Amino acid sequence: MQPYHEGHTDMATLKKNRAIGGPRKGARQALRESEERYRLLFQGMLEGVAYCKVIYDDQGRPIDWVFVEVNRALEQLLGMTNLVGKRAIQLFPGLKESDAELLEIYGRVARTGQPGEFEGYVADVGMWLRISAFSPAKGYFVAIGENITERKRAEQALRISEEQNRALVSAVPDLLFRVNRQGIFLDYHAPPGSMLYAPPEAFLGKTMTEVLPPAVAEPAMKAVELCLGSGESVKFEYPLTLENRERVFEDRTIPLSDQEVLFVIRDITDRKQAEEALRASQARLDFLLSSTPAVIYSAKLGGDYGATFISANITAQLGYEPSDFTSDSAFWINHIHPQDRDRVLAGLEHLSVGGFYAHDYRFLHKDGNYRWMRDEMRVVRDSAGHQVELVGYWIDITERKRAEEALQESEQRFRRLSEANILGIMTANLHAITAANDEFLRMVGYTREDLEGGRINWRDMTPPEFAKLDRRALAQLRARGWCTPFEKEFVHKDGHRVPILIGASLVDREAFTSICFVLDLTERKRLEQENRRAAVLAERNRLARDVHDNLAQGLTGIVLHLEGAEEVLDTSPREARKRIAKARDLARTSLEEARRSLLEMRSALLECGDLVSAVKQVINAFGDATSAHVALSVRGSPQPLPVPAEEALLRIAQEGLQNAVRHANPSQIRVELGYDDATVSLRIEDNGKGFRPNGRRKTGGLGLSFMKERCAEVGARFDIQSHPGKGTCVTVRLPVEAGFRRKLRQ
């Protein structure tokens, strides 16, 4: 290129002038050879080269340029051909908008002759170029361009990577040290706000033994030695007290070169606490699993559904080890009862639809027996909704199955009992009778249509005088779930009363539904009535015979002896006294006979009323014959008892009163009848002279034996307490349930 000068000289003119001006042929030849070498050099350059003329507007501002000469490298660089003679704006339409700065640079170089070098992105060709420009003549410039797009991309990627790394390092919560083999700190980074932060000058250029506590520096130097010696990372942990609290740090030493390592120090106090909490939680879970009958598991979803995990308490439940299941994929399916296996596998198809399934089946215990198992499982899905595995739990329900079978057998027996119509059976709540067998409907005269229509109400069928007994039964049901059987009456559909014995048991506490067993006492009451009437008649006949045979004859003898005494009173006072004494003996004998007859009038007394009324009559009779004060008290609500039980208690009351009057000479006698849910009691207590119950007695032995025999006949318990000078107490306790069972047998 020629040096800069004024005026325009293009390369073609330059060639022409040199060709004409040479005086000798040899000079022309040399010039041609020089030009050829120039052209070969120009075209052989690897960089793109353009020789251009700048076009200025009237104000001297560059507005375009024309390509005067270009080499092949430039055409290849731009991907264009035939550039010579073409204007830049023609080739690059967006030059003024996107590359206006490039136009200004070229214009300045061509105008001033000052060379320039710059890098820029040429939007029209989409590449980065490093351009060197100089001016060979005013208004002209030569541009040498090199494609640096790949370098720019690499630099950009490097900048981005460095920025990302800086961002990552600044975001890392760890403390970072770069240390050489001698333990000298070369670089340091601490996250903002870290309790380990210190000014870089506190570390850089110093050794670890100078900066760190001995308990940390010693293992850190060993880590450097191990890390550089093995070429692998080394990890160790150590405690450090900071801000009056012990914290735990993890140090990971990573080799950077054969002379340097990177320390990554992390505060793992929270992680350690979490691990400890996890261990405690796992311990609690292990304890719960060892204490609970539920076995948890995970299994494959499909195929043989082999277990991938099963809790350790499987050993306590079925005798197997967890490894028996996890090492043999078919272990579970092969130990299901053959009669249940197909049903179980078919049921697992429901998992793909609902994701949950529960079933019962028999599984072979290690002892060789089958156990009933309840198995509930569900499908676990990942975040994308794909099925991953099965999880579930087992529980041994063998005892429940046995109970269910026993319940079914019980229900069948109950159904047979109900359908046999031996007893009336009904279910009822507080408002109505909801179900009943045929015997109960026959008993009260209603039809099944009445029952199904809700027209049978046990309250409406109960006469008012039995309301108190019903309230007591309801209170017992609420308190203990069953009531003591008791006698009452139902009003028949036609209006007459039906005597019954009823007991109930609560089967549904929330709905207060009870099942009731009802025994029709109509026939028994009729027989009792007839027996009582016959007993009254027999008692009257017996009493008439006793009066005729004993009392009348005794009275006749008394009259005769008294009349005889009257006749000889004046003549023979001694004889008169003898006759009076005989009359007195006959009177005493007659009194004893009268008392015996009174004691034997038990059936007649009960015929007139209940047990309480009968005991009152006996007490009134004895009160007239003794100076002792006799009092009766009743505890609880009196309830009807079977006739044998009432007669036994009445007879024992008579015998006890007679023994007290005859042998104890008391001033007070207290009689108590007690009624509660389980027993009826009779208590006779006097303040007489008492005796030793286990000693020898001159009198009264037959009376005690009689009372004990009466108690044994009805299943009652007899007790006597007495001490000389401290009175006597006789107690009889009759279990109500025993009387009820005896009544059912009858």
pLDDT digits (tens, 9 = 90+) for 591-641: 777 666 655 554 555 655 678 888 888 888 776 667 788 999 999 888 778
Fold of 11-153: Beta-Lactamase (3.30.450)
pLDDT value at position 736?
Answer: 76
8 A C-beta contact, residue 394 and residue 295: yes
pLDDT higher than threshold 80 for residue 513: yes
d(CA 322, CA 312): 6
Q: Which CATH number fits domain 421-520: 2.20.70.10, 3.40.50.200, 3.40.50.300, 3.30.450.20?
A: 3.30.450.20
Nearest to 237, CA basis, from 276, 272, 190, 186: 272
The 10s digit of each residue's pLDDT in 169-186 is 554 567 788 899 999 988
- Looking at domain 292-402, its CATH architecture is 2-Layer Sandwich (3.30)
Instruction: For residue 3, name the pLDDT band (cuts at 50, 70, 90).
Output: very low
Of 85-99, 284-298, 670-684, 713-727, the one with minimum mean pLDDT is 284-298
- What CATH fold (topology level) applies to the domain 608-746? Heat Shock Protein 90 (3.30.565)
pLDDT score recorded for residue 605:
58
Is residue 729 a contact partner of residue 684, using CB atoms and an 8 Å limit?
yes
Is residue 161 very low, low, confident or very high in pLDDT (cuts 50, 70, 90)? low
pLDDT of residue 18: 45
Closest Cα to residue 234, out of 258, 261, 269, 271? 261
Residue 340 pLDDT class (50, 70, 90 cuts): very high
Query: Stretch 722-737: mean pLDDT, rounded?
Result: 89
Q: Average pLDDT in the 157-180 region? A: 69
The pLDDT of residue 669: 92
Determine the average pLDDT of the residues in 678-696: 86
The predicted pLDDT at position 644 comes to 80
pLDDT higher than 80, residue 27: no
Band of pLDDT at residue 497, cut at 50, 70 and 90: very high
- Answer whether 390's CB lies under 8 Å from 380's CB: yes
Q: 339: closest CA among 358, 362, 359, 372?
A: 362
Question: Across all residues in the chain, what is the average pLDDT?
Answer: 82
Q: What mean pLDDT is predicted for residues 350-377? A: 90
pLDDT of residue 463: 95
Which pLDDT score, from 0 to 100, does residue 627 have?
79
For the stretch 99-146, pLDDT in tens is 778 888 889 999 999 998 888 777 767 788 888 999 999 999 999 988
- Sign of the Cα torsion 488, 492, 495, 496 reads negative
pLDDT at res. 76: 85
Tokens 């007070």 belong to: 668
- Place 681 in a pLDDT band, splitting at 50, 70 and 90: very high
**What pLDDT does 459 receive?**
92
Residue 166 has what pLDDT? 57
Helix/strand/coil percent split, the chain, to 5 = 45, 25, 25
Query: What's phi and psi for 471, nearest 5 deg?
Result: -65, -40
Tokens of 156: 């950009």
Cβ–Cβ under 8 Å, residues 618 and 654: yes
Q: What does the pLDDT read at residue 216?
A: 87
657 close to 619: Cβ distance less than 8 angstroms = yes
pLDDT at 134: 92
Report strand pairing: 728-735 vs 679-686. antiparallel
pLDDT value of residue 572: 85
Burial class of residue 189 (count of CB atoms within 10 Å of its CB; 0-12, 13-18, 19+): middle
Confidence band, pLDDT 50/70/90 cuts, at residue 4: very low
The second-level CATH assignment, the architecture, of 172-271 is: 2-Layer Sandwich (3.30)
* Shared fold status for 172-271 and 421-520: yes
In this prediction, residue 157 carries a pLDDT of 80
Kindly tell me if the per-residue pLDDT of 402 is higher than 70: yes
Phi and psi angles of residue 323, each rounded to the nearest 5 degrees, phi first: -65, -25
Which sequence spans correspond to the domains of the chain?
A: 11-153, 172-271, 292-402, 421-520, 608-746
- Whether 536 has a pLDDT exceeding 70, the answer reads no
Cα(512)–Cα(418) distance, integer angstroms: 21
Can you give the pLDDT at residue 525? 82
More confident residue, 602 or 462: 462
| Closest of 88, 64, 63, 62 to residue 74, by C-alpha | 88
The span from the CA of 519 to the CA of 490, in Å, is 11
The answer, yes or no, to whether residue 355 has pLDDT greater than 90, is: no
